[in-house]
A and B are shown apart, each in its own frame.
Chain A
Amino acid sequence: MAQILGLPKLSPTMEEGVLVRWTKKEGDKVSPGDLIAEVETDKANMDFNIEDDGVLLKFLVKEGDTVKLGAPVAILGKAGEDITALVEQARSGGGGSAPSPAPAKAAAPEPAATPAPAAKPAAAAKPAAAKPANDDGAASAAKPATKAKPAPQAQAAPAGARLLASPLAKTLAIELGIDLRQVTGTGPGGRIVERDVRALAEGGGAQTNGHAAPAPGDDAPGEADEPAAAPASQAIAVRPAALTPVAPVTPVTPVRQDSDADWTDVPASNMRKRIASRLTEAKRDIPHIYLMRDLDAAALLAYRGRLNELLGDKGKISVNDLVIKATAIALRRLPECNASWQGDTIRQFHRVHIGVAVAIPDGLVTPVIRDADQKGIGSIGAEVKDLADRAKRRALKAHEIIGSTFSVSNLGMFGIERFTAILNPPEAGILAIGAVRDVPVVDKGAVIAGKRIAVSMSCDHRVIDGALGARWLQVFAELIEKPELLAL
């Protein structure tokens, strides 16, 4: 019996996708698990694996078409079956069903957060989220959460306690792309339950990720030893379905082209849209304050030079790598700045994971150096380089772009002297680094040539007030100006 295949939900927040390319041909026989197409989603290029066997009798969309979630993309059946009725149905807008994607290896989340990788997201998930398209559309988005108020005796889990969540809450979080660490549990002992996840999904919206959508283009310019940085912050991705590296795709074509008009409308890529919504939200809802210092970079440069000499051809350290390390150590020393505003509580992170903004064509992404305070500078350097490379190739894995507790953004290679960055919720701080400048400085009464680097710390005033931020910058400054301290 032939069936219409609809575009499956390949990422928790996906509403539509672009069928980048078919990896099979019309008439090919397929078995469960076979890759049949690549689809660009709001997060990344995803594999469309089929779960049935049969013959791909007809493709209903072309490569490059944008398709809504669940809309018909192909017809699967037995060779020689008459599918004219189905084709007609599909063309006239009859629903296809969104088949569950083949279980991809789900990324392992933060240990504190959650359970085993979701092997079958669609199967394990509640029907509400994975309902086939022929269900009542309005109802399919979300099962109505219970309307009553949360029980008064519930409290969020005390800091440091195990994260408790009901199995349903966990599977729902996977589906909706919610980071359970951001959810306040209202069940006994702070257990996170379904309504808590839904509340965050519907109300907060702050959790879903803008993962870099692939766009073509040249690599960002800049010095070889400085990773390309990006101007603004990037929202944290939380456990989307795993990504597999995909080849770059053709660009989206502009919608209108009128040679006499004064403008051209270029459709915003998914990543662009994501950046737009996240940053607007951050700018609007978080009270930013900006603390600035100009630091003496001479010792830092010398230190870097010495390290690179020692490394030889085994690697190359950049100023930014040292900045990352210094940031991490300073956060370890002043953990109040390694925190997050949760509403009624301030969440103190126990580990230091630094998000490093990386510019990629048409946008930016923030891969995470985990436990940066524990890693050697060389490791950090190597990791940053690898992540940046893969970021540009859209080859980052889901777990590599989530979980940062503080971010660093460097526009030095673009000649920017100083700038202020926008916070990356739910973090409470982001450091913006400018270029190293040759400036005249006064030293022992004489004017000499000095090296200065401007750093600006954007703080979430709900968590970090001026004084606290200043103290942090003091610690940071000392590490930068006396870089040997980085080894202590």
Chain B
Amino acid sequence: MAVISYREALNQAMREEMERDPNVFIMGEEVGYYNGAYKVTQGLLQRFSERRIIDAPIAEMGFAGIGVGAAMVGLRPIIEFMTFNFSLVAIDQIVNNAAKIYQMSGGQFHVPIVFRGPGGPAVQVGSQHSQALESYYAHVPGLKVVMPSTASDAKGLLKSAIRDDNPVVFIEGETLYGSTWEVPDAGAGDFLIPIGKADIKREGSDITLIAWSKMVWTCLDAAKLLAAQGIECEVVDPRTLRPLDVETLTASVKKTGRCVIVEVGWPVAGFGAEVAYQIQRHCMDALDAPVERVTSDDVPMPYAKNLEDEVQPQVHDVVAAVRRALYLPEEG
């Protein structure tokens, strides 16, 4: 085992898969000579040459579509969006083509492609660069949507995504690249995490917190605070949004009787709304309180730091929601 960064974990995953399968290639803006806008593809051009690490001009619709076509005829593209905000330019390729070709062709062609890149707010990058769009993709049958929160999950899931024969939308946490976690050594065999399986990041008995990506960390911080108040939180990370591991999520809520869903996206029709439906649907008799949801404010992200912080779910928002679900007065 080694403690490595989320960024390094992704790099390792891609390197290992490219070594293993000559059909894997990476295409995106600044992935080659620039070593990646977020340094995720650092060093890969040197190792694999221009044939397999391809710098693209600003043409998301174009190179995402090229990825789809290449995947149809047997290659395994990794298409990087510099951020998932830009995926909207290519959403036609992801939703109308990649997600549907397997069915439209009656199973004759499939699209083993990974669309990856960072999503969610960063720091003061303004409204067009701060969006959490996972609900857009999680809505679409034919896609898989994966969002790792730790370096370990990132590595194991990216490898699985690359090997998956379906289009996988792989949304990384833009502020998580430097975070570290323990990951099995590269030489110790293939480390794969199955897509579609949730992970309990922290066990607890009083309340279930469901969160993904950056919000997992917020919940873990909130859980520490709450433990000091005598409240033990169970933090469940779905890791994959589509297909959602409803079983693990509902088992946790049936155990604790309360649930708070924490997401950094907007509230209306955000992915947490789907999770909330599943929880109330399957756990009705176990619930001591309505399912709570903590989301960003329903606004385009402002630039100023203090405003940006206020918009997003902070630890104290999570603590407040937990206490609400436990019918406890606000703290202090």
Report A's interface with B, CB cutoff 8 A. Answer: 124, 126-127, 143-144, 146-154, 166-171, 186-188, 191, 193-195
Q: How far is the CA of A445 from the CA of B288 in the complex (A)?
A: 71
- The one of B230, B285, B328 in contact with A168, judged by C-beta atoms closer than 8 angstroms, is B285
Residues on the A chain within 8 Å of B284, using CB: 167
Indicate with 1 or 0, residue by residue over B167-193, a CB within 8 angstroms of chain A CB atoms. Answer: 000000000000000000000000000
- Chain B nearest Cβ from A163, distance in angstroms: 16
Residue of B nearest to A197 (CB): B288
Q: How far is the CA of A193 from the CA of B257 in the complex (A)?
A: 11
- Chain A nearest Cβ from B117, distance in angstroms: 41
Q: Decide: A146 and B231 in contact? CB cutoff 8 A.
A: yes
Q: Decide: A168 and B287 in contact? CB cutoff 8 A.
A: yes
Interface size on B, residues (CB 8 A): 18
B56 within 8 A of A: no
Residues on the A chain within 8 Å of B329, using CB: 148-149, 151-153
Q: How far is the CA of A167 from the CA of B287 in the complex (A)?
A: 6
- The one of B254, B288, B328 in contact with A166, judged by C-beta atoms closer than 8 angstroms, is B288
Q: Which 10 A-B pairs have the closest CB atoms?
A: A168-B288, A194-B288, A166-B288, A151-B329, A124-B285, A167-B285, A147-B230, A168-B257, A148-B328, A187-B327
B317 within 8 A of A: no
Residues on the A chain within 8 Å of B276, using CB: none
Q: How far is the CA of A166 from the CA of B287 in the complex (A)?
A: 7
Q: Which of B271-297 contact A (CB under 8 A)?
A: 284-289
- Chain B nearest Cβ from A418, distance in angstroms: 49
Given contacts A126-B255, A152-B329, 13 further A-B contacts (CB under 8 A): A124-B286, A126-B257, A146-B326, A148-B326, A153-B329, A167-B286, A167-B288, A168-B257, A168-B288, A169-B288, A187-B289, A193-B288, A193-B327
Q: Which of B296-332 contact A (CB under 8 A)?
A: 326-329
Residues on the A chain within 8 Å of B245, using CB: none
Q: Which of B245-267 contact A (CB under 8 A)?
A: 254-255, 257
Residue of A nearest to B205 (CB): A143
Residues on the A chain within 8 Å of B221, using CB: none
Q: Which of B219-234 contact A (CB under 8 A)?
A: 229-231
Q: Decide: A171 and B327 in contact? CB cutoff 8 A.
A: no
- The one of A124, A144, A147, A154 in contact with B327, judged by C-beta atoms closer than 8 angstroms, is A154
Q: Decide: B286 and A171 in contact? CB cutoff 8 A.
A: yes
- Chain B nearest Cβ from A212, distance in angstroms: 31
Q: Decide: B206 and A146 in contact? CB cutoff 8 A.
A: yes
Residues on the A chain within 8 Å of B328, using CB: 146, 148-149, 151
- Chain B nearest Cβ from A287, distance in angstroms: 32
With A146-B206, A151-B329, A187-B327 as given contacts, are A171 and B229 in contact (CB-CB < 8 Å)?
A: no
With A146-B231, A167-B287, A168-B257 as given contacts, are A195 and B205 in contact (CB-CB < 8 Å)?
A: no
Q: How far is the CA of A82 from the CA of B72 in the complex (A)?
A: 57
- Chain B nearest Cβ from A172, distance in angstroms: 9
Q: How far is the CA of A170 from the CA of B287 in the complex (A)?
A: 10
Q: Decide: A194 and B285 in contact? CB cutoff 8 A.
A: no
Q: Decide: A186 and B285 in contact? CB cutoff 8 A.
A: no
Residues on the B chain within 8 Å of A149, using CB: 328-329
Residue of B nearest to A150 (CB): B327
- Chain A nearest Cβ from B101, distance in angstroms: 43
Q: List 24 A-B contacts (CB under 8 A).
A: A124-B285, A126-B255, A146-B206, A146-B230, A146-B328, A148-B230, A148-B231, A148-B329, A151-B327, A151-B328, A152-B329, A167-B285, A167-B286, A167-B287, A167-B288, A168-B257, A168-B285, A168-B286, A168-B288, A171-B285, A171-B286, A188-B327, A191-B327, A194-B288
Of the listed residues B206, B285, B286, the one surrounded by the most CB atoms of chain A closer than 10 A to its CB is B285
Q: How far is the CA of A167 from the CA of B290 in the complex (A)?
A: 10
- Chain A nearest Cβ from B314, distance in angstroms: 22
Of the listed residues B230, B254, B328, the one surrounded by the most CB atoms of chain A closer than 10 A to its CB is B328
Q: How far is the CA of A193 from the CA of B258 in the complex (A)?
A: 11
- Chain B nearest Cβ from A174, distance in angstroms: 10
Q: How far is the CA of A169 from the CA of B289 in the complex (A)?
A: 10
Residues on the A chain within 8 Å of B255, using CB: 126-127
Residues on the B chain within 8 Å of A124, using CB: 285-286
Residues on the A chain within 8 Å of B327, using CB: 150-151, 154, 186-188, 191, 193, 195
Residues on the A chain within 8 Å of B285, using CB: 124, 167-168, 170-171
Q: How far is the CA of A483 from the CA of B6 in the complex (A)?
A: 88
Q: Which of B195-243 contact A (CB under 8 A)?
A: 205-206, 229-231
Residue of A nearest to B230 (CB): A147
Q: How far is the CA of A152 from the CA of B327 in the complex (A)?
A: 10
Residues on the B chain within 8 Å of A170, using CB: 285
